[in-house]
Structure 1
Amino acid sequence: MFDTTFKLMLRRLGLLLVLYTLLRLLFLIFNYPEFAEAGAGQMLFAFAHGLRFDLAAILAINGLFILLSLLPAGKTLHPGYQRVLKWVFILGNAPFIALAMVDVEFFKFIGRRTSNELLSITGDITDQLVQLLGYYWYLALGFLLLLVGLAKAFPKAPALPAPAGKVWVRSLRLLLVAGFVVLGIRGGLQLKPLRPNHAFILEPAALGHLTLNSPFTFIKGIGKTALEEKHYFNSDKELLAALQFNPQKYTKPNGSPVKENVVIIILESFAAEYVGALNTGQGYTPFLDSLASEGIMFRHAFANGRKSIESLSSILAGVPSLMPEPFITSPYLSNNLYGLGTLLQQAGYQTAMFHGAANGSMGFNNFASRAGVQEYFGLDEYPDALRKQDFDGQWGIFDEPYLQYVSRELTEFQQPFMATLFTLSSHQPYTIPAKYKGRFQKGELEIHESIGYSDHALRQFFKSASQQPWYENTLFILTADHTQKSINPAYQNELGHFRVPLLLFHPGKDFQSINESKVAQHADIPATVVDYLNLATDKLLPFGHSLLDTASMGRAVFFNGSAYVLVQPEVVTELKQDDQLSFYTFPDLAPAASPAPQAGQLLKAQVQYFRNGMVGNRLYFWNE
């Protein structure tokens, strides 16, 4: 059994184990702040534990190579056949090595190892491939060097191979190896096959991301769209009680509807870390800071996801991103859904969304329609005469001219209207117009200068909008889609990764009665708009609550890739995928002195409601 052919195959697979360890080391170096609180011993254990996941991925990827290496018949050590094996080995592993290299930087954006979300944005990646390669050239170079190194280190067959064994012996060996391969991919003899959540056994929990490898999480994510139902509560009545949710809360408004406009502005990558109003004046957003002094900026606001594609479902429909796959690209998008656009259409509103990128980018146009937004204004709708001069060369229209265009378009709308505006200039590669080079603070991160430019564009938008007839009659809600790269240690933690600005501003209204210290989230926006406009509806989901409710101190919920997290002013609750609860202080994340059973029940109720509602298409079961 242990002849030259078999030993050669083991050496080649062993080479991959060494390579995966090297990739894990690169991942650690590029993302060290995420794991800085762990000790050297904990990191070494993460590397050792990671070998289990490395082996599973390598065996899954190299099944064909193993089969061809151990064919029961033929001269498998023949030089010509060995050349074929080498190409199978290199070409079969190359895409996954590339994936691991991409994740070295992509992890900074999504906060977890890549799963099948890459399949949902393939079109955007293809469209921007040239600029991405130009910007992340060092990843492309690293990938090529690793590939060349792998080819050169590929163990060669001996010049004078020993005679091949008997066919029946080789056949039996292949069957035995196949059994071990299945066992290795499964991760052992335990009851459940190896899953990504099995990596999160260390403290701090972030080490689970270091333990994992991107090929493993990607393979595990393919086709895994179905959620497993949870049954913490035995009946819908018990579930609603645990959720502390009354579906009828807004069915009988106190008085007539308020016929005012609503403009929701989603600022690309404006992490709370960059906003001066949230950091004692230290930031890159002077105009947003000035607006905060006139409205209400919530000091503890959270995105319900880590990617642009995850933000829209929370903001426009109150659906947080509580599963590995974005709701927009999941099969559950066809479920019954009552978006904010639908609710406002029923109240006689004209509804629209503006995004200066190519139509179809991130599936925003399709989801906007799904959420009841009547009109979508993308790159295709931007005036032809201005498109070339205002194009940023990468994604779409620069923020300043695009926001001026939006201001003009809104003036043509019939009031009342609801408009959603998504900016883009503060997206990688952080391009700003040549005439503004050197005007805004460079800061310590590449994104900081583009944040300054986008803030300037926002200032110009409000300057022109303030001259329009609709301005004084408009509620503005400003937030960011997600966080971005961090330089401030105060934000380099589980909560900091999700902290974004969230601001309510009205030219003629005072929101000072609202407590700015309450916890806020994207999913609160639909309920806040309904409450402000005094609309009658029973189509709001239980994840969000009106920010105008002075009796509540708020809460936020998100999924960090390995656990569900519920943020409340008095406690942070974590529900892991093995159903174990942990409790921490807010906002320090120190272990809580005592359990918070009510918070644990609330989080379990939200998880059950989300999962079972998605699987059974029963998000609005009280209307059945």
Structure 2
Amino acid sequence: MFDTAFKLMLRRLGLLLVLYTLLRLLFFVFNYSEFAEAGAGELLFAFVHGLRFDLAAILAVNGLFILLSLLPIGNTLHPTYQRVLEWVFILGNAPFIALAIVDVEFFKFIGRRTSNELLSITGDIASQLVQLLGYYWYLALGFILLVIGLAKAFPKAPALPETAPKVWLRSLRLVLVAGFVVLGIRGGLQLKPLRPSHAFIQEPAALGHLTLNSPFTFIKGIGKTTLEEKQYFQTDEELLAALQFDPQKYARPEGAPLKENVVIIILESFAAEYVGALNKGQGYTPFLDSLANEGVMFRYAFANGRKSIESLPSILAGVPSLMPEPFITSPYQANKLYGLGTLLQEAGYQTAMFHGAANGSMGFNNFAARVGVQAYYGLDEYPGELRKQDFDGQWGIFDEPYLQYVSRELTEFEQPFMATLFTLSSHQPYTIPDKYKGRFPKGELEIHESIGYADHALRQFFKTASQQPWYENTLFILTADHTQKSINPAYQNELGHFRVPLLLFHPGKGLKSINPAKVAQHADIQATVIDYLNLPTDKLLPFGQSLLDTTTSGRAILFNGTANLLVDPEVVTELNQQDALRFYTFPDLAPTASPAPQSAQLLKAQVQYFRNGMVGNRLYFWKE
């Protein structure tokens, strides 16, 4: 099985690993200023961790070469066949070497490794090829030298003939190697395949770009959403004016920062339709309703997406889901981002996220790290002796025991802290513990009973938390990740699909001065926390507004798959993919002929800002 052909293939692939490490070193040298804050140990880890991404890219690029090297029939060591293999090897890898070489300089423009956006500018590259080669002649020279070096170093087959293993043994070997190739491309046995976001696991976050390689990010970007840039406004100044956004609004707050805890609770599938406090008492959430009486429940609150994976960027980083693909899996997932955890870490906070599902579920653990969450508590961190008895049989730990576990863990935290808690029991198949069967109303939809159980778990959490030393010094923000099945016609419309509860509650303070009738959205949460804690920053995005701001009536921006919607208390404005505008009444969505030019300008500004900012990695262009 380990004959000359197999050993040759391993040596040749090993040569590529050496080359990819050399390319990473070249990338580091040309972009040294990006990584100047990192220590020697952190840099070494980035290089070592990068081998995982290198192996995935090399195996993906060289699938045909591996197959031809290990064909179970014929003499694969024949000189002519070996020459063919060499050409397949060189020609197959050369384009990706070129890509890595180009990224040495292209990274300076977009601030991330190249993805599929390169495909959208091939026409521009072709028309400017001569001047680009003239300006970046050293990159072209480097590419030529590397390809020549690769050809010179290509391990040659021995001149002496060798008896090949039997066909059945070679066939078995090929099958086994194919399995290892798939595993290598996948990045291992973890829950989700290797993604660019998996590279961002240490600080400073820029080291993630050093860990990655350009062939990997390009391959991962193929078939992904590529946003079309817009030019409704010609300059950054015009855009900021149309956005009605001042990046310096919170840069110099009056008074000292508050040293209070923040706990954000994201309730799985708690559509506004299920909440009694939002439906004249008709619902399945008696505890959440009682909490609404003590805090502020916004009557018109919206998720900025329709999936769990879309909720976290909105809630923890102020990034609404305005494209067909979730940000976490998009080609732009490695863009610069200042999350809530990052901003609170700068203020001395301990930050954590709790989710009772399998580690890696929906990429939450990696995204949480990207936005400054220091510790992630998933199924793996749940006490082993309790895991079996508290497991729901499908997704993870039942809500009641898990929320009790979270309460205990928070008591061990040093204050002030920020914790995000994501529940899961109200997820399909809506399993609840046997001891609670028949206790909660069945309702008209299969999810209703599990909503009742999750609400009960929430009650028990607050009962336990109220006895902890950190409780009275904590701002609680409760919302849902997205809506779910609907039976109420009032919610069976474009806006109803996004309506979720959003509640502010502080056991030690009254919040009654906040207007519950204003429009609220997930993207407001980051700005609300910063405003409440009185923290200085110029790293907020213009999509969200503080819910504490009494000068605004609120707004929400949504993407329904075909058009963007801007929701404010006066009008709903729609901008479709052909740039046509339509206006509706709020909240009934009845068509209206009355145009709202100010809302139209604001919506266009937000769409341009999102698209161009994502493509160019310029979401914080005022900091350049």
1:535 has 2:535 as partner: yes
Name the structure 2 match of 1:358: 358
- Please give the alpha-carbon distance, in whole angstroms, between the structure 2 residues aligned to 1:554 and 1:428: 32
What secondary structure, in the 3-state scheme, does the structure 2 residue paired with 1:342 have?
Answer: helix
Shift of 1:224: 3.5
- Please give the alpha-carbon distance, in whole angstroms, between the structure 1 residues aligned to 2:514 and 2:401: 34
Cα-to-partner distance string for 1:404-441 (whole Å, 9 max, x where unaligned):
00000000000000000000000000000000000000
Name the structure 1 match of 2:581: 581
- Please give the alpha-carbon distance, in whole angstroms, between the structure 2 residues aligned to 1:500 and 1:391: 27
Taking the TM superposition and a 5 Å limit, the aligned residue runs for 1:92-103 are none
- Please give the alpha-carbon distance, in whole angstroms, between the structure 1 residues aligned to 2:273 and 2:508: 29
Checking the alignment, whether the CA contact within 8 Å between 1:355 and 1:377 is kept in structure 2 is: yes
- Please give the alpha-carbon distance, in whole angstroms, between the structure 2 residues aligned to 1:394 and 1:547: 37
- Please give the alpha-carbon distance, in whole angstroms, between the structure 1 residues aligned to 2:233 and 2:191: 46
The code of the aligned residue for 1:362 comes to M
Shift of 1:508: 1.1
Cα-to-partner distance string for 1:539-568 (whole Å, 9 max, x where unaligned):
000000000001111000010000000000
Distance 1:283 1:443, change over 3 A: same
Name the structure 2 match of 1:374: 374
What secondary structure, in the 3-state scheme, does the structure 2 residue paired with 1:462 have?
Answer: helix
Cα-to-partner distance string for 1:150-172 (whole Å, 9 max, x where unaligned):
xxxxxxxxxxxxxxxxxxxxxxx
- Please give the alpha-carbon distance, in whole angstroms, between the structure 1 residues aligned to 2:353 and 2:615: 29
Checking the alignment, whether the CA contact within 8 Å between 2:191 and 2:359 is kept in structure 1 is: no
Checking the alignment, whether the CA contact within 8 Å between 1:365 and 1:376 is kept in structure 2 is: yes
The code of the aligned residue for 2:375 comes to E
Name the structure 1 match of 2:342: 342
Taking the TM superposition and a 5 Å limit, the aligned residue runs for 1:442-457 are 442-457=442-457
Checking the alignment, whether the CA contact within 8 Å between 1:275 and 1:501 is kept in structure 2 is: yes
Name the structure 1 match of 2:258: 258
Cα-to-partner distance string for 1:10-51 (whole Å, 9 max, x where unaligned):
xxxxxxxxxxxxxxxxxxxxxxxxxxxxxxxxxxxxxxxxxx
Name the structure 2 match of 1:431: 431
What secondary structure, in the 3-state scheme, does the structure 2 residue paired with 1:233 have?
Answer: coil
Checking the alignment, whether the CA contact within 8 Å between 2:261 and 2:415 is kept in structure 1 is: yes
Name the structure 2 match of 1:241: 241
Taking the TM superposition and a 5 Å limit, the aligned residue runs for 1:142-221 are none
Name the structure 2 match of 1:206: none
The code of the aligned residue for 1:258 comes to L
The code of the aligned residue for 2:312 comes to L
- Please give the alpha-carbon distance, in whole angstroms, between the structure 1 residues aligned to 2:330 and 2:346: 27
Cα-to-partner distance string for 1:435-471 (whole Å, 9 max, x where unaligned):
0000000000000000000000000000000000000
Cα-to-partner distance string for 1:188-227 (whole Å, 9 max, x where unaligned):
xxxxxxxxxxxxxxxxxxxxxxxxxxxxxxxxx9714221
Name the structure 1 match of 2:136: none
Cα-to-partner distance string for 1:229-263 (whole Å, 9 max, x where unaligned):
00000000000000000000000111000000000
The code of the aligned residue for 1:549 comes to D
Name the structure 1 match of 2:299: 299
Name the structure 1 match of 2:280: 280
Taking the TM superposition and a 5 Å limit, the aligned residue runs for 1:400-549 are 400-549=400-549
- Please give the alpha-carbon distance, in whole angstroms, between the structure 2 residues aligned to 1:595 and 1:500: 28
Residue segments in structure 1 that go unaligned for 5+ positions in a row: 1-121, 129-220
Name the structure 1 match of 2:321: 321
The code of the aligned residue for 2:615 comes to V
Residue segments in structure 2 that go unaligned for 5+ positions in a row: 1-185, 193-220
Checking the alignment, whether the CA contact within 8 Å between 1:245 and 1:542 is kept in structure 2 is: yes
Name the structure 1 match of 2:393: 393
Name the structure 1 match of 2:556: 556
Checking the alignment, whether the CA contact within 8 Å between 2:224 and 2:330 is kept in structure 1 is: no
The code of the aligned residue for 1:431 comes to T
- Please give the alpha-carbon distance, in whole angstroms, between the structure 2 residues aligned to 1:386 and 1:491: 39
Cα-to-partner distance string for 1:295-352 (whole Å, 9 max, x where unaligned):
0000000000000000000000000000001000112111111000000000000000
Shift of 1:514: 1.0
What secondary structure, in the 3-state scheme, does the structure 1 residue paired with 2:252 have?
Answer: coil
The code of the aligned residue for 2:393 comes to G
Cα-to-partner distance string for 1:564-622 (whole Å, 9 max, x where unaligned):
00000000000000000000000011112410011001000000000000000000000
The code of the aligned residue for 1:573 comes to T
Provide the aligned length of Structure 1 versus Structure 2: 409
Name the structure 1 match of 2:616: 616
- Please give the alpha-carbon distance, in whole angstroms, between the structure 1 residues aligned to 2:513 and 2:550: 8
Moved over 6 A (4+): none
What secondary structure, in the 3-state scheme, does the structure 2 residue paired with 1:482 have?
Answer: coil
- Please give the alpha-carbon distance, in whole angstroms, between the structure 2 residues aligned to 1:590 and 1:455: 34
Taking the TM superposition and a 5 Å limit, the aligned residue runs for 1:37-116 are none
- What's the C-alpha RMSD, in Å, of the aligned pairs? 1.4
1:571 has 2:574 as partner: no
Checking the alignment, whether the CA contact within 8 Å between 1:309 and 1:362 is kept in structure 2 is: yes
The code of the aligned residue for 1:476 comes to F
Checking the alignment, whether the CA contact within 8 Å between 1:277 and 1:289 is kept in structure 2 is: yes
The code of the aligned residue for 1:512 comes to K
The code of the aligned residue for 1:397 comes to I
- Please give the alpha-carbon distance, in whole angstroms, between the structure 2 residues aligned to 1:224 and 1:307: 17
The code of the aligned residue for 1:602 comes to L
Checking the alignment, whether the CA contact within 8 Å between 1:571 and 1:592 is kept in structure 2 is: no
- Please give the alpha-carbon distance, in whole angstroms, between the structure 1 residues aligned to 2:595 and 2:326: 31
- Please give the alpha-carbon distance, in whole angstroms, between the structure 2 residues aligned to 1:387 and 1:353: 18
What secondary structure, in the 3-state scheme, does the structure 2 residue paired with 1:573 have?
Answer: strand
Checking the alignment, whether the CA contact within 8 Å between 1:359 and 1:378 is kept in structure 2 is: yes
The code of the aligned residue for 2:475 comes to L
- Please give the alpha-carbon distance, in whole angstroms, between the structure 2 residues aligned to 1:229 and 1:251: 29
What secondary structure, in the 3-state scheme, does the structure 2 residue paired with 1:331 have?
Answer: coil
The code of the aligned residue for 1:400 comes to E
Name the structure 1 match of 2:383: 383
Shift of 1:127: 7.4
The code of the aligned residue for 1:303 comes to A
What secondary structure, in the 3-state scheme, does the structure 1 residue paired with 2:289 have?
Answer: helix
Sequence identity percentage: 85
- Please give the alpha-carbon distance, in whole angstroms, between the structure 1 residues aligned to 2:407 and 2:584: 44
- Please give the alpha-carbon distance, in whole angstroms, between the structure 2 residues aligned to 1:593 and 1:282: 35
- Please give the alpha-carbon distance, in whole angstroms, between the structure 2 residues aligned to 1:489 and 1:234: 43
Name the structure 1 match of 2:603: 603
Distance 1:582 1:222, change over 3 A: farther
The code of the aligned residue for 2:502 comes to L
